[in-house]
Amino acid sequence: MNICAPQLAELPPSCGFAVPTPRRQRVLAVGVIGPGRVGSALLEQLRAAQPRLARDSGLELKLCGVVASKRMWLDCDDAELNGRHGGAQIWRPNDLDAFAEHVRGNDGRHALLIDCSANDDVAAHYPRWLAAGLHVVTPNKLAGSGPLARWQAIRAACASGARFRYEATVCAGLPVVQTLRDLLDTGDALLAVEGMFSGTLAWLCNRHDGRQPFSALVREAHALGYTEPDPRDDLSGLDVARKLVILAREAGWPLSLEDVDLQGLVPSALAALSLDDFMQRLDELDAPMAAKLAEAHADGGVLRHVAHLDRHGHASVRLIVLPATHAFAHTRLTDNIVQFTTRRYCDNPLSVQGPGAGPEVTAAGVFTDLLRIAESLEARA
Model pLDDT, residue 79: 78
How many domains is the chain built from? 2
Dihedral angle computed from the Cα positions of residues 348, 350, 355 and 357, in that order, rounded to the nearest 10 degrees? -120
Please tell me whether 194 is known to bind a ligand: no
List the CATH number of the domain containing 285: 3.30.360.10
Which pLDDT belongs to residue 228?
86
**Is there a domain that residue 303 lies in?**
yes
Helix (H) or strand (E) holding 60, with range, is: strand 59-67
87 is in an annotated binding site: no
- Rounded Cα gap, residues 81 and 64, in angstroms: 8
The reply to whether 211 and 339 lie within a common domain is yes
Rounded Cα–Cα distance for residues 168 and 364 (Å): 8
Provide the residue count of the chain. Answer: 381
How far is the C-alpha of 39 from the C-alpha of 300, rounded, in Å?
43
Report yes or no on 247 lying in a domain: yes
On whether both 88 and 122 belong to a single domain, the answer is: yes
Task: Name residue 30's beta-bridge partners.
Answer: 63, 112
| Complete edge-to-edge strand list for the sheet that includes strand 301-309 | 260-262, 315-323, 301-309, 190-196, 335-342, 350-355
- Domain co-membership, 226 together with 337: yes
**Residue 141 annotated in ligand binding:** yes
Active site residues per annotation: 243
* pLDDT value of residue 8: 34
What is the radius of gyration, based on Cα positions, of the chain?
24
> Quick one: pLDDT at residue 379?
66
175 is in an annotated binding site: no
Number of other residues whose CB lies within 10 A of the CB of residue 130:
24
Would you report the helix, strand and coil content of the chain in percent, each value rounded to 5? 45, 20, 35
Question: Is the domain of 115 the same as that of 145?
Answer: yes
For residue 258, say whether it is annotated as part of any ligand binding site: no
Residue 47 inside a domain? The answer is yes
Residues 303 and 270 in one domain: yes
Cα–Cα distances in angstroms (integers) from residue 139 to residues 83, 237, 248, 370, in the given order: 23, 18, 17, 12
What dihedral angle (degrees, nearest 10) is formed by the CA atoms of 373, 61, 363, 147?
-50
Tell me the residue type at 110: H
Residues in the chain with pLDDT values less than 50: 1-22
365 lies in the same domain as 340:
no
CA 64 – CA 32 distance, rounded (Å): 8
Residue 13 counted as domain residue: no
Same domain membership, residue 164 and residue 76: yes
Say if residue 245 is in the same domain as residue 346: yes
Rounded Cα distance, 197 and 335, in Å: 9
According to the model, what pLDDT value does residue 19 have? 42
Helix or strand run (H / E) with residue 141: helix 141-145
Assigned domain for 219 exists: yes
Position 9 in a domain: no
> Is residue 132 one of the residues assigned to a domain?
yes
Judge if 336 and 374 occupy the same domain. no
Helices (H), 158-265: 176-185, 199-207, 214-224, 232-235, 238-250
Q: What is the pLDDT of residue 108?
A: 87
Give the domain range for residue 55.
Answer: 26-173+360-379
- Per-residue pLDDT reduced to its tens digit, 140-194: 999 999 999 999 999 999 999 999 999 999 998 899 999 999 999 999 999 999 9
- Which CATH number is 122's domain given? 3.40.50.720
Per the annotation, does 161 bind a ligand? Answer: no
pLDDT tens digit sequence for 247-301 = 999 999 999 999 999 999 999 999 999 999 999 999 999 999 999 999 999 999 9
Q: Residue 52: what pLDDT? A: 95
Half-sphere CA count of 357, side-chain side, radius 13 A = 20
State whether 246 and 334 are in the same domain: yes
8-state DSSP, 133: T
Examine the domain organization and report whether 245 and 122 are in the same domain: no
Q: Are 189 and 330 in a shared domain?
A: yes
Residue 209 resides in a domain: yes
